[in-house]
A and B are shown apart, each in its own frame.
Chain A
Amino acid sequence: MQILIIILQIAVLLAIVLLHVAYVTYFERKIIGHMQVRMGPMLVGWHGLLQPIADGIKSFFKEDIIPEQADKPLFMAAPVICLVTMLASLAVLPFAKGWALADINIGLLFIFAMSSLASYGVILAGWASNSKYTFLGGLRSMAQVISYEIPMGMSLIGVMMLAGSLNLTEIVEAQGTSLFSIYLFPQIIGFFVFFVAMLAETNRVPFDLPEAETELVSGYITEYSGMRYAMFFMAEYIGMMVMASIGTVCFLGGWNGPFAIPFFPPFWFILKVYGFLFLFIWIRATLPRYRYDQLMALGWKLLIPLSLLNVVLTGLFKILAN
């Protein structure tokens, strides 16, 4: 019986998240369109509202092309690795008090582990396609993941120190005592580092070097088509949502808001996640891509020292406060 309930919860979460993925793509196209004084999708349904569904159906029925010289098992496994790891990290997110599928003690570390594994999907896709564009995309993704996982982890150490826990629910509850009951102000350096590293982790503009359309056709997904392509796409957007959720949980006080909303406790959480997603899209509409050496310099020369500084400062403040 208990297992059935859990399966039901997983199914509901999955359905909601996939629906969100579909409509995040819609809103991304709409918002970027209007920022560029265009309209975005308009034809499928009222103001293009059914566009994501049409896209889904299209990619589902499209022919799945596997290049002749590709490494077949890895080529087929790569998108699955990407998607599964991203979906797995959804399990530990607390959407409201007690609304987490698995409230484990090392929630934050689990998400790190999963997001670092998702890079395997990208790397293997790049290698297994046996094409120079995908290969370069894979190589870039590798270097990017190695460089940006470090500042990302370090920037959250400050939060862990303040909250004294790795459990996401406890991190949210520990924020009740700080300014505005969020960690954004005591951890402003950490938030900055986290935000930049988050953009790089999710391969978003201005750090979308692995898929850089202008140079690498479509980067590591060049050889993919149909449903496998859609899986990479879904993984990217779920990754965005997971990262936005971590930002919400660790810096913006999770489901806590100025006043409680009856009947729908995750209201504030979802609103904050939407805010993050809007920021992602906004940045994509504004900024050009970084050059490769700039990306590396930013990661190693600025973000890592800054996050180290943040750890030291947080420790000092904690000692002084006691």
Chain B
Amino acid sequence: MFNQILFLYCALVIISTGLLAVRFKNPVYSVLSVLVLFFHMAGLYLILNAEFLAAIQVIVYAGAILVLYLFVMFLVNLRQELKVERFIASHRVSAITSAALGICLLAIIPSFKLGAKGAYPVERIQQLTHTKAMGFELYSTFILPFEIAGLILLIAVIGGLVLARKEREEGCNPGTDTCEVKK
């Protein structure tokens, strides 16, 4: 019962902050509502006994990625509000489209089925701790997807390095102890 109330609360907050993130005119407020959203995501993970995921959710998404978003936002001039042309001119078309999408999503719901019980029931996870259970699974059953994800991230890192790299200019180089002074 308690879990269900908690789930309902988290789900409602996630939906409402998600909407708010789109609705806010001030991008900083949008980012903050996304922050609240991430928190409640972490709450959902906690309900599912996945405390490791919850912590990672907060550390990585709330602590690092959103901070980066804020960083970018601060570098853009915020005092001038962004004026973007409406993508679709008429309200009616957008309303019909989103209503249709909503109906589609609702129609899918009955076909959801509980999956078969895996090797990790709740009691086992609690005994093993979620961190260990996830580590075992990640490095044995799902080693290939894990490595592929690692490779993709590595490519992204190298790409970032290549893009950010600048040719060293002649003369002074603040990173070293010596300095060539032109006379």
Write the residues of chain A forming the contact surface with B, with a CB cutoff of 8 angstroms. 71, 74, 104-106, 109-110, 112-113, 116-117, 119-120, 123-124, 127, 135, 138-139, 142-143, 145-146, 149, 153, 165-167, 293, 297
* A-side interface mostly: helix
**Residue of B51, B67, B74 touching A146 (CB-CB under 8 A):** B67
**Can you name the residue of chain A whose Cβ is closest to the Cβ of B57?**
A113
Q: Chain A residues with Cβ under 8 A from B130's Cβ?
A: 105-106
From B13-21, B58-66, B108-116, B138-146, give the one contacting chain A: B58-66
User: Given A106-B52, A109-B55, is A117 in contact with B63 using a C-beta cutoff of 8 Å?
Assistant: yes
Does B118 reach chain A (CB closer than 8 Å)? no
Please state if A106 and B74 are interface contacts (CB–CB under 8 Å): no
Size category of the B interface is: 20 to 34
Does B11 reach chain A (CB closer than 8 Å)? no
Please state if B70 and A113 are interface contacts (CB–CB under 8 Å): no
Task: Select the residue from B55, B62, B130, B175 with max chain A CB neighbours within 10 A.
Answer: B55
Does B35 reach chain A (CB closer than 8 Å)? yes
User: Given A123-B67, A142-B71, is A116 in contact with B62 using a C-beta cutoff of 8 Å?
Assistant: yes
User: Given A106-B52, A146-B68, is A112 in contact with B59 using a C-beta cutoff of 8 Å?
Assistant: yes
Interface string of B67-78 (1 = CB under 8 A from A): 110110010000
Please state if B51 and A104 are interface contacts (CB–CB under 8 Å): yes
Please state if B70 and A105 are interface contacts (CB–CB under 8 Å): no
Q: Chain B residues with Cβ under 8 A from A143's Cβ?
A: 71
**Residue of A71, A120, A139 touching B35 (CB-CB under 8 A):** A120
Q: Kindly provide the distance from the CB of A293 to the nearest chain B CB, expressed in whole angstroms.
A: 6
Please state if B52 and A146 are interface contacts (CB–CB under 8 Å): no
Please state if A105 and B28 are interface contacts (CB–CB under 8 Å): no
